[in-house]
Every structure is written in structure tokens, then in C-alpha cells.
Amino acid sequence: MHVIVIGGGIGGLAAALSLHAAGIEVDVYESVAELKPLGVGINVLPHAVRELTELGLAERLAANAIATEALVYTNRLGQEIWREPRGQLAGYKWPQFSIHRGLLQMLLLEAVIERLGRGRVHVAHAAERVESSENYAEAWLRKPNGESVRVRGDVVIAADGIHSVLRSQFYPNEGQPIWNKRVLWRAVTESEPFWGGRTMIMSGYQDEKFVCYPISPEHAQRGRSLINWIAELRFPESKAWRREDWNRHGEVADFLPRFEDWKFPWLDVPKLIRGAAQVFEYPLVDRDPAPSWVFGRVTLLGDAAHPMYPIGSNGASQAILDARTLAYELSANADIDRALAAYDEARRPATSKIVLANRQNGPEEVMQTVHDRAPTGFTNIDDVISKEELEAVHKRYKLIAGFDCETLNNRPSLQPVTARGT
């Protein structure tokens, strides 16, 4: 079997590694001329860390990430709403990692080149279209010089992101991603550690939110923290915004005034914002869940399949789960069409639930609830929201997103059948 992967992001590279582990021949095609460690920080949840561990990447991850030990929600005054352990401290068999997105992508790329060979990664090949026949699929790609290249595989995986050219071929009337009138600004800033240097903070409510967490073990070894942070604001319905792009430079003046008084005993938010060397701007967008991901011998994966709000730390993690599930099904089923159908059945409904849950703020709904009930703050959080209500919200989201501790720890492996025991 030969599989063509269109897109060299986290999902596409994880797919290449997973397929290779299953003994399947893979070629990866990426539109940019050079893959670089772009972006800022992301979280990789235990269910995705499990998959990367089974791909033999645990040591590389641990050496380049912070093992997140706690998640804390506060209101915009810094008053604590909810605190819970994360990763192995919460009973998972695998940690939760906070890492620079570009670094994770480079780790995956390095592993792909080591295992598949450099010649299997083809840069500067932009997807144009794809066609499927009964027994194979073909993709047409464009080089920078205008030359058109046609490649054939038993399967083509469209992992070409939220603006997927290949998805638009199957859903031509879908239009641009849906913007919910919220904008994110993201950056990293070196700072003093807060709350032990392994804590993830979410503060505010849906109209004004600040998220931050450390991502660099190198800084931690020096007694410092490289803090990834996200500032989020809601704008009026009449507001227009620019096309979403993780690498668009943003202006601090567009959002800092709304956070000037966010000075907590344990964190000075405006100081953190001002300390960033560069800031990236991104409108908060997603797409409606698609009715199918499979079109003959072509299938969608990652953001091309299920773009979602970055709530609950799920985007990259779900792309990794897509990759592992697809490789598993292709290795477990002799019939390729049956394998693709099984992949669609396993992953599309699951991710659709997450997309819809994230539109309702996912587990962060507790921040909105507290703001609605106590907009000027509180003396005792138990007077505002019960522990049982807080626990129920988080339990429900973990079940939806597939990282409930008991379920994950006891779930069968997604290691491709032909790779087990190797």
C-alpha cells in the first residue's frame, strides 16, 4: 500500500509516522519551501501523548516540553475558581505536555526523515486538486515554477489545514471559516515562574480571557519560565477582521488596554504582554462539522477535517488521534474502503461533538458562569458555584474529548496491528 499525505503539519507528520509503523509506504507533500518552527505554545493532552509515546517519541517530548501538573481557572480579578491536577498527577499513565508548536512539528519532521528518509518529504508542492478512482487516488500539485505534478497512491490524506484546498473541492459552497467575533493574540514571554512553574492558568470569561502556561524546560533549569500566553477579546457584530493566520503579526495596542488592570499577586498580565518580542493575531474560527470525511480513496484529517476553537487544548491532540486511528484501521482491514469507512465512523462523530462543545466554551463555561453570578468578584467560591457543578462540567468535557482518565488508561492501544511487538 502507498499513501500520499498532503500537508506537513502536526497531523500530516503524525500520520506519516503512524502509517510507516504499520508497514505502509508514505510520501508527504507540503506547500511551503521550508518547514520552520513557527507559532507559539500548545498543549498535548494525555490521550495524544499516549499515541506519541507508542510512536517512540516520549523521550524527545519530555526533553523539549513542560509536563503540566495543574490547571487553574480564575476570574478576571485573579480569584481562584477551580484547580485540578493534570497529567500523571491526575492518575493518567501519560503526562500532559506544554510545548512550542513549531518545536513539536520539528520533532515529528525529524522522526519522519529518520524513519522514512528525507526523500519522502516533498516541500514546495501546493495542492491543487484530487481525483479518486475505484482502486487509487491522484493528487495534482503545483511547484513554485508553475510545473504541475501528478502523484498517485492507494489513499490520499488531505491534511492541508483549515483552508484545505482539497476539502473545498468536496464542499465547494462551504465558504470561509466561521468567525465568532472573538480574536486571540498569542505570544511567548520570559518571566519569573508562577505557581511552581508547571501550572496552566485560564482567567476571565468569554468576552475577556487570558490564558498562560510555561513551555520551556531549558528556561526552567535556569529558574525562569518561558510563558506562552493568549489574550482573547470579543468584538461587536459589526467588526470586520483580517483572514486568520497563526503567523500574522498583531499590535499590542489593539488589546492591551483591556488588560491593564489585570495585576494579580502571582502574575502581572500587562507586564507579561509588554515583555513579548512579537505577538501573533488570530480570529477565533471553526467550521460546521462535515457530513463525511471520506470521498472514495481520499480522506480528510486534522484541521482540514475538524477545525475547532482552541478551547480545551484539543486541536493538535485530535489531529494526532486522527492519524493514529487512520493508520490502525488501514493496518487492521484488508479492504481499504472498509478501513476508511471505519476511520470516518470512529473519528468524525467524536470530533464533531468537540467542535460543538467548544462553541459553548467547553470546560471554560465555568468561567462564564462565575462571571454571570459574581461579576465583581467573590469572597467564597462555594457561594457562587458548587464543587459538584465544577466537577461535573470538567468530567463531561473530558468524556466528550476522549481523555477521561479511567477510559483512557483502560482503552486498547491504537498501535498499528503490524507494528505491535516491534
Closest by alpha carbon to 319, among 184, 178, 160, 193?
160
Q: Exposed, middle or buried, 75 (CB in 10 Å: 0-12/13-18/19+)?
A: buried
Q: Exposed, middle or buried, 86 (CB in 10 Å: 0-12/13-18/19+)?
A: buried
Closest by alpha carbon to 27, among 149, 156, 189, 147?
156
Angstrom distance (rounded) from CA 56 to CA 49: 11
DSSP state of 260: T
- CA-to-CA dists, residue 124 to 33, 34, 148, 353, angstroms: 4, 8, 11, 35
Closest by alpha carbon to 320, among 228, 414, 417, 420?
414
Strand 66-67 versus strand 70-74 pairing type: unpaired
Amino acid symbol at 396: R
Closest by alpha carbon to 300, among 402, 171, 160?
160
At residue 421, the pLDDT reads 45
SS3 169: helix
At residue 236, the pLDDT reads 83
Please report, to the nearest 10 degrees, the dihedral formed by the alpha carbons of residues 348, 354, 359, 362 taken in order. 180
At residue 243, the pLDDT reads 59
SS3 content of the chain, % helix, strand, coil (to 5): 40, 25, 35
Backbone φ and ψ for 375, nearest 5 degrees, come out as -65, -20
Strand order in the sheet with 294-295: 121-122, 25-29, 2-6, 155-158, 298-300, 294-295
Angstrom distance (rounded) from CA 206 to CA 369: 10
Compute how many other C-beta atoms are within 10 angstroms of the C-beta atom of residue 129: 12
Compute how many other C-beta atoms are within 10 angstroms of the C-beta atom of residue 354: 24
Under 8 Å CB-to-CB from 380, ≥6 apart: which residues?
none
Angstrom distance (rounded) from CA 125 to CA 121: 10
Contacts by 149-154 with C-beta closer than 8 Å and gap 24+?
149/125, 151/4, 151/27, 151/29, 152/2, 152/4, 153/2, 153/3, 153/4, 153/27, 153/297, 154/1, 154/2, 154/3, 154/297, 154/336
Whole-prediction pTM = 0.95
At residue 11, the pLDDT reads 97
Strand 2-6 versus strand 155-158 pairing type: parallel
Length of the chain (residues): 422
Q: What is the pLDDT along the chain (422 residues), one digit of tens a residue?
A: 999 999 999 999 999 999 999 999 999 999 999 998 888 899 999 999 999 999 999 999 999 999 999 999 999 999 999 999 999 999 999 999 999 999 999 999 999 999 999 999 999 999 999 999 999 999 999 999 999 999 999 999 999 999 999 999 999 999 889 988 999 999 999 999 999 999 999 999 999 999 999 999 999 999 999 999 999 999 887 777 665 665 688 999 999 999 999 999 999 999 999 999 999 998 889 999 999 999 999 999 999 999 999 888 788 999 999 999 999 999 999 999 999 999 999 999 999 999 999 999 899 999 999 999 999 999 999 999 999 999 999 999 999 999 999 999 999 999 877 754 44
DSSP state of 422: -
At residue 245, the pLDDT reads 63
Here the cell at position 232 is 482573547
Angstrom distance (rounded) from CA 392 to CA 369: 13
Compute how many other C-beta atoms are within 10 angstroms of the C-beta atom of residue 224: 16
- CA-to-CA dists, residue 20 to 49, 109, 277, angstroms: 18, 13, 39
